[in-house]
Amino acid sequence: MAVETFTWCPLVSPTSAPEYRNRTSKFGNGYEQVVGDGPNNRVDSWPLTFIVKESVAVQIKAFLDRHAGHKSFFWTPPLGELSFFRATAPTVTPNGAGVFTLATTFTQSFLP
């Protein structure tokens, strides 16, 4: 099965929450040794919110449900390159007049 691409744009400005994974060893004399944890020690995380009409909300939710939090998909973050990401289960809030808010967090992954 081919890797899908997430193409919808969040309507609320996203803010990245990158994490640098490091391993640290502290020694009794105050010396501390710090190294990056693996070749991909920087992981981007993006809390995203979409405010969309019902038909688009259904499409986004179906996409995220299809990937079930463990299957990666392609997405291009702001100031970034097309990369693999996984998503948390979306929360859905009806706003009335056929408009819905969907919230999820995309976390960078490195393999499909």
- pLDDT tens, position by position, 16-30: 877 887 888 888 888
Residue predicted with more confidence, 88 or 16: 88
Q: Which residues contact 110 (CB under 8 A, 6 or more apart)?
A: 40, 84
pLDDT tops 80 at residue 91: yes
pLDDT tops 90 at residue 1: no
Q: Quick one: pLDDT at residue 35?
A: 81
Instruction: Give pTM, 2 decimals.
Output: 0.84
Measure the CA–CA gap between 46 and 69, rounded to whole angstroms: 14
Q: What is the pLDDT of residues 38-85, one digit of tens each?
A: 777 888 999 999 999 999 999 999 999 999 999 999 999 988 999 999
Listed residue (85, 90, 93, 94) closest to 104, CA to CA? 90
Q: Quick one: pLDDT at residue 46?
A: 95
Q: Which residue has the tokens 């299957």?
A: 71
